[in-house]
Amino acid sequence: MEPEDLLKRLPHSFPFRMIDRILKIEPGKKAIALKNVSADEPYFQGHFPKEPIMPSILILEALAQTGGIAFHSSFEEEEKGVPFLARVDEFRIKGKVVPGDSVILEAEIERIFSNLANIKVRAKVKEDVVAEGTLVLGKGPFRISS
């Protein structure tokens, strides 16, 4: 499957698609994606108007989406299900992301067990690591019980 086809399988759309392009994919192993941060991003209106900084939770979301692409690439093409964030472990923000930055998002699958995957993630601006940690993603129809 081509990288653009995988990107189309993400259920997110504007303004919550945090990936602009998939740079590299090794199916079932890892994904590297790109997020170009623009001053026009809607969250910069309030975070923070005089010194805009990409919210840490959105960096985490971009990494989870990249991890989802890596995990989804291990599924059979006809297999149903959507990767979703199940747990965040040892996640650290190490720098800030500002308008004009190009963020490289890396996600490497450490192991897949049943319908879950441990994924090591890292976000970099140039060569500086701005965030890293481990995520657990689940797979399947996402249901909210009442």
Catalytic residue among 17, 47, 75, 95: 47
DSSP state of 44: G
Asked whether 119 and 135 are in contact (CB, 8 A), the reply is yes
* One-letter amino acid of 115: N
12 catalytically annotated:
no
Q: How far apart are CA 133 and CA 146, in angstroms?
A: 31
Q: How far apart are CA 25 and CA 135, in angstroms?
A: 18
Asked whether 75 and 25 are in contact (CB, 8 A), the reply is no
The residues assigned a catalytic role are: 47
